[in-house]
Structure 1
Amino acid sequence: MIRASGITLRRGTKVLLDGADFVVHPGERVGIVGPNGAGKSTLFALLNGQLEPDAGNLDIPAGWRIASIAQEIHDTGREALDFVIDGDTRLRRLQAERAAVDVDRDGLRLAELEAELADAGAFSAQSRAEQLLVGLGFSQEEFRQPVASFSGGWRMRLNLARALMAPSDLLLLDEPTNHLDLDAMLWLERWLASYPGTVLVISHDTEFLDAVARTILHFDQGKLVRYKGGYEDFLTQRAERLRQNQIAYDKQQREAAHLQSFIDRFKAKASKAKQAQSRVKALARMQVLAPMRAAAGIDISIPSPDHMPDPLLSLDGVRAGYPDAPILDGVKLSVRAGARVGILGANGAGKSTLVKTLAGEIEPLGGERKEARGLAVGYFAQHQLDMLDAEATPLLHLARLAPEAREQDLRNYLGGFGFSGDFALAKVGPMSGGEKARLALALVVWKKPNLLLLDEPSNHLDVDTREALTEALAEFEGTMLLVSHDRHLLRTTVDSFWIVADGGVHEFDGDLEDYRDWLANRQGGNASASSATAASAEGGVDRKTQRRLEAESRQRLSTLRKPLETRLRKLEEDMQKLEARKRELDQLIADPGLYEDARRDECRRVLAEHGDLQKRLGEIEEAWLGVQEELDAIQA
């Protein structure tokens, strides 16, 4: 096991850990959480042997192999497939020695090397690497492309695949989902579920963390506090802990009442659509966790727009992308006043291209983009972090946008985004990615946009800031289009979805669970089409023999599929029963009376059962996805 006692870590003059103790047992899946700058990545550097503690002892079993995601790529001339296989350094060392051995003079060593190579999985290495690349969204045509030909986000995927390729007993994953779409994220969740070693993961994606982690280590005032269960369990346990300590109790109650009022207003106008009901449940969860939000000290507020034309914006037969590489064609859509749309689709399908076209960042290659008089767009994309002036302060950035505003008003506004006191006067350059993202968001919404176009706004944000942003977006009274791989953010803030796929954009009538099913059916359909094409291309088989072979093939498939389909139905029945009970608990949790002192014991039981249900639903969903994957593989 990993055992730390009395660990002290400093970064400059800042104390990150002060006499901290923690234990990680073999095979555990541990989520590391805490605000930006708390020391999560520094802890990983300690575990990786890249630095020594300022005080205390850290014991890691001597024989453990440690794998982690590299932050940089140096060998960019390597082909992607070879680059990933290079992650297995023992295999590469044995292969190099095998290539150099003299067959005639050293037959004994050759035999030993052949045995060691077999033990190292040399004959399956290429297949394993290809599976990792496919799971993370690479096409077969890209396997042999040089690393240098990929963009930064796809290079980080290659680094992740390389880390997963390395045989390891301890896997350290620092923000592994930052550059993944939902498809790749679901695949990674399944891969980690079958990983036999110990996993420590840093992630601000709360649904991913809840799906993967079974223990949480939380950076809390210089210590690492251990919580049993997944991320949802951690939230409810910590919220109860804060309640018991009566931290800012009055403020917490006001926050909870405010959210309850908003939930009631939203329920009154929400349709019966499945996604709207998902949003009600997500908002109820936020109301339960209001004490944590109040304690975090970040209270983002997005100003309401002064006017709202309808429709705000439309695309008519638009062809979008770049002159030498069009991505979307024939796009026809209208952005209505008050719409709240989540944009789904695989990486590279054209989500960012669509948002840039709507924002006017790139001109359509064909068709027409029409905007209403009075349209005010607030556009957030990752490149805006690079546009910040490293030598300027948050206050100066905002003063440049609003030279006529009083300094105190600007300071009050920035305070809601976490830039209060001297922090508002600190240079932007040394700030973390999350702090820069907060500032960029503050600048985007200052001018009261009536249309928010947000492309991955929660990347780099810590959990507390994500919760604050989620609440602010949920209450925003304008129109919003959101691209995000953060499922909690999507569930809580949007009412409908668009899917970007196959060069087009269309509305999707369903929620994220329906989207998961759509993906599974789409993958199965593609596999069936490929099988049919391959069969029709065969030559030299007479029709009678072909019919017999097809019948035998169908029988084999049916025999293989039947137990899996039975298992799938059983899992779906279990899921429906648990979801029915969870809906009952959601109603209890949304009742403010549950948190009165007289019902404290009932509140604890309800929250404990709710956390257990969340975990069991996650486990059943993982099992469902695994069975569905097996069915897809049989079909293929």
Structure 2
Amino acid sequence: MITLKNVTLRRGAKVLLDSASVTLNPGEKVGLVGRNGAGKSTLFGLLNGTLHEDAGDYSLPAQWRMAQVAQDMPETAQSATDFVIEGDTALLAAQAEVHAAEASDDGMRMAHAYMELHDAGAHDAEARAQALILGLGFKSSELTNPVNSFSGGWRMRLQLARALMCPSDLLLLDEPTNHLDLDALVWLEAWLKRYAGTLIVISHDREFLDAITQVTLHIDNARLVRYGGNYSAFEDMRAEQMALQQSAMAKQADKIAHLQAFINRFKAKASKAKQAQSRVKALERMEKIAPVLADAEFTFEFQEPQNLPNPMLSLSDISIGYPPPEESPAGTPPSVIVRHINRSVHAGQRIGILGANGQGKSTLVKTIARDLAPLAGELSEGRGLNIGYFAQQELDVLRPHDTPLEHMIRLAKEVIAAGKSGYVAGREQDLRNFLGTFNFSGEMVKQPVGTMSGGEKARLVLCMIVWQRPNLLLLDEPTNHLDLATREALGVALNEFEGTVMLVSHDRALLRAVCDEFWLVSRGGIEPFDGDLDDYQRYLLDEAKRSRDSDAAGVRQAR
């Protein structure tokens, strides 16, 4: 078992754990939670041996094998399959022993070495590695592609596959879902449920934690508090504890009343559609944990839109995709991903966009956001449409050497120059005050963005969107770098938003809480999806089985 007894951990002058104690038993699946900066990654450093306790006692069984996802971006021309196979450290050691035994010409040693190689699973290593790679969303045609040919997010998926390939008694996962789509996330959940060792996972995805963990370890005020149960159970128990603290509750009364008011309003509005019923359940959960939400250090709200055109958008026989690269020969056709889209987006709609990886969800959002031109058809915008767009790569668009204040000043100038209606604050102090509502206060407004965490950058992007006072929100994976408290704040803000929301996300809790209807992007088309997210999860599993069966049939034919 893993034991911490009165452990103190410091990073510089800051005490992250102060006389913390906890015991984790073999085979437990543990969710490690706490506010950003509370010390979650630092605790991982203690567990993996890169940091040592400043005081107290820490013990881990000496014979335990450990696996975790490397955080560096791999730079290698190895094939994806070979790269993942190398994650199996037991296999690599057995192969090294075979080479050494053969060089020694010692028959007995060679016999033992070959036996160890067989026990290490050399006969099916390639099949095991490729099952992991395909499960995480790669295509069969990409199995032999060089690692360097993939983008950063896909290389991090290969790092995850490599960690899962490693035989382990303790698996440490720090935000494993950040680079995954919903289909890969569903697959990972199923894999982790079968994992026999001890798992400790840091994640800001509530439903992922609920699906795979039975213990929650909360870093709270530099202490470790163990709760029996998944994240939702932890939240319920913590809400009960906080409800007993009347003095704290009195301070939060206004925030809870505000939260309760919008819960009541939106529950009354919800239709009888299956998707809307999921939303009602999400709101009922928020009702139960109102004290926890009210205790969150960060909340925000969207400004009321100045107008609501209806319809906001009309897509008439549109095809979307990408033009040929500039270096392509003349006459090269564009890459069409989705054809013949005929849909309208109306004021007040809350649409979740679903679809397996590569089907065109982000391409659709980019087209609506005007980052891509339609390849055919007509996209009509309502008069006065004002889009707030959070792109998957939005954090890369921020200028690393500029400060939050410089970003806001530049945005204000662009908005005024474009003659857009919206929230226009003329004075620098107004912009400082607005940044303060997003927890950018004091000297933080002058801190270069490149030195900030992913969560802080995401908050800055949200701040810039809110300031523009949009009436249509296009959100493509907005939660990747947000902690649980900020995700909850985003969910509350989106539910109070009077405009239209179109949301792509692998965060099912956010989709359930926000969306009343779903569009499914699949097989080159877009159709309404009549089920809820549980139905969609079953659809994804069926699609994965269909894909596997198709691949297997192709292999048989090739033979």
Deviation (angstroms), 1:117:
1.0
Residue 346 (structure 2) aligned to one of 319, 336, 342: 336
Match of 1:492 in 2: 513
- How do residues 82-481 of structure 1 correspond to structure 2 at under 5 angstroms? 82-99=82-99, 101-102=101-102, 105-324=105-324, 325-402=335-412, 404-407=425-428, 409-481=430-502
SS of equivalent residue, structure 2 residue 450: coil
Deviation (angstroms), 1:528:
6.6
d(CA) in 1 for partners of 2:407, 2:109: 67
Match of 1:557 in 2: none
For each residue in 1:85-105, what CA deviation from the matched residue of structure 2 results, as whole angstroms up to 9, or x when unmatched? Answer: 100122123223424544893
Amino acid at match of 1:148: N
TM-score normalised by L of structure 2: 0.91
Amino acid at match of 1:326: V
Match of 2:19 in 1: 19
Deviation (angstroms), 1:527:
6.1
For each residue in 1:387-427, what CA deviation from the matched residue of structure 2 results, as whole angstroms up to 9, or x when unmatched? Answer: 32334433443344347434554344333322244444444
Contact 2:33 2:203 in 1 (8 A): yes
Point out the more displaced range, 392-401 or 497-506: 392-401
Contact 2:356 2:540 in 1 (8 A): no
d(CA) in 2 for partners of 1:350, 1:277: 27
Contact 1:180 1:485 in 2 (8 A): yes
d(CA) in 1 for partners of 2:408, 2:73: 36
Deviation (angstroms), 1:482:
0.4
State, as a whole percentage, how many aligned pairs show the same letter: 57
Match of 1:603 in 2: none
For each residue in 1:462-521, what CA deviation from the matched residue of structure 2 results, as whole angstroms up to 9, or x when unmatched? Answer: 111111111001111100100100000000001101111112221111210111222234
Amino acid at match of 2:460: L
d(CA) in 1 for partners of 2:355, 2:108: 55
Deviation (angstroms), 1:352:
0.9
Contact 1:3 1:23 in 2 (8 A): yes
Match of 1:559 in 2: none
SS of equivalent residue, structure 1 residue 70: coil
Match of 2:327 in 1: none
Number of residues of Structure 1 aligned to a counterpart in Structure 2: 538
Contact 1:209 1:231 in 2 (8 A): yes
Deviation (angstroms), 1:148:
0.7
Amino acid at match of 1:57: D
SS of equivalent residue, structure 2 residue 4: strand
Deviation (angstroms), 1:24:
1.2
Deviation (angstroms), 1:196:
0.9
SS of equivalent residue, structure 1 residue 219: strand
SS of equivalent residue, structure 1 residue 429: helix
Match of 1:516 in 2: 537
Distance verdict in 2 for CA 1:81–1:416, change over 3 Å? same
Contact 2:267 2:283 in 1 (8 A): no
d(CA) in 1 for partners of 2:186, 2:543: 15
d(CA) in 1 for partners of 2:176, 2:4: 25
For each residue in 1:206-233, what CA deviation from the matched residue of structure 2 results, as whole angstroms up to 9, or x when unmatched? Answer: 1101111111111111111111111011
Distance verdict in 2 for CA 1:531–1:295, change over 3 Å? closer
Pairwise CA RMSD: 2.3
Point out the more displaced range, 405-414 or 124-133: 405-414
Contact 2:432 2:441 in 1 (8 A): yes
SS of equivalent residue, structure 2 residue 178: coil
Contact 1:247 1:295 in 2 (8 A): no
Contact 1:293 1:467 in 2 (8 A): yes
Distance verdict in 2 for CA 1:11–1:326, change over 3 Å? farther
SS of equivalent residue, structure 1 residue 248: helix
Contact 1:26 1:198 in 2 (8 A): yes
d(CA) in 1 for partners of 2:245, 2:304: 35
d(CA) in 2 for partners of 1:186, 1:261: 34
Match of 1:506 in 2: 527
Contact 1:88 1:166 in 2 (8 A): yes
Contact 2:74 2:147 in 1 (8 A): no
Contact 1:236 1:289 in 2 (8 A): yes
Point out the more displaced range, 268-277 or 471-480: 268-277
d(CA) in 1 for partners of 2:83, 2:552: 31
Contact 1:248 1:294 in 2 (8 A): no
Distance verdict in 2 for CA 1:361–1:132, change over 3 Å? same
Contact 1:136 1:184 in 2 (8 A): yes
Contact 2:304 2:498 in 1 (8 A): yes
SS of equivalent residue, structure 1 residue 514: helix
Amino acid at match of 2:130: E
Deviation (angstroms), 1:274:
0.6
Deviation (angstroms), 1:361:
0.6
Deviation (angstroms), 1:279:
0.4
Contact 1:389 1:429 in 2 (8 A): yes
Deviation (angstroms), 1:524:
4.8
SS of equivalent residue, structure 1 residue 326: strand
Distance verdict in 2 for CA 1:97–1:448, change over 3 Å? same
Gaps of 5+ in 1: 540-636
SS of equivalent residue, structure 2 residue 246: coil
Deviation (angstroms), 1:438:
0.7
d(CA) in 2 for partners of 1:220, 1:527: 45
Amino acid at match of 2:377: G
Amino acid at match of 1:336: H
Contact 1:255 1:291 in 2 (8 A): no
Distance verdict in 2 for CA 1:286–1:424, change over 3 Å? farther
d(CA) in 1 for partners of 2:116, 2:503: 51
Point out the more displaced range, 79-88 or 9-18: 9-18
TM-score normalised by L of structure 1: 0.80
Contact 1:36 1:432 in 2 (8 A): no
d(CA) in 1 for partners of 2:282, 2:393: 30
d(CA) in 2 for partners of 1:68, 1:205: 19
Amino acid at match of 1:19: S
Contact 2:80 2:144 in 1 (8 A): yes
d(CA) in 1 for partners of 2:75, 2:396: 25
d(CA) in 1 for partners of 2:94, 2:295: 54
Contact 1:256 1:288 in 2 (8 A): no
d(CA) in 1 for partners of 2:237, 2:92: 46
SS of equivalent residue, structure 1 residue 363: coil
Distance verdict in 2 for CA 1:144–1:223, change over 3 Å? same
d(CA) in 1 for partners of 2:158, 2:480: 19
SS of equivalent residue, structure 1 residue 123: helix
Gaps of 5+ in 2: 325-334, 414-424
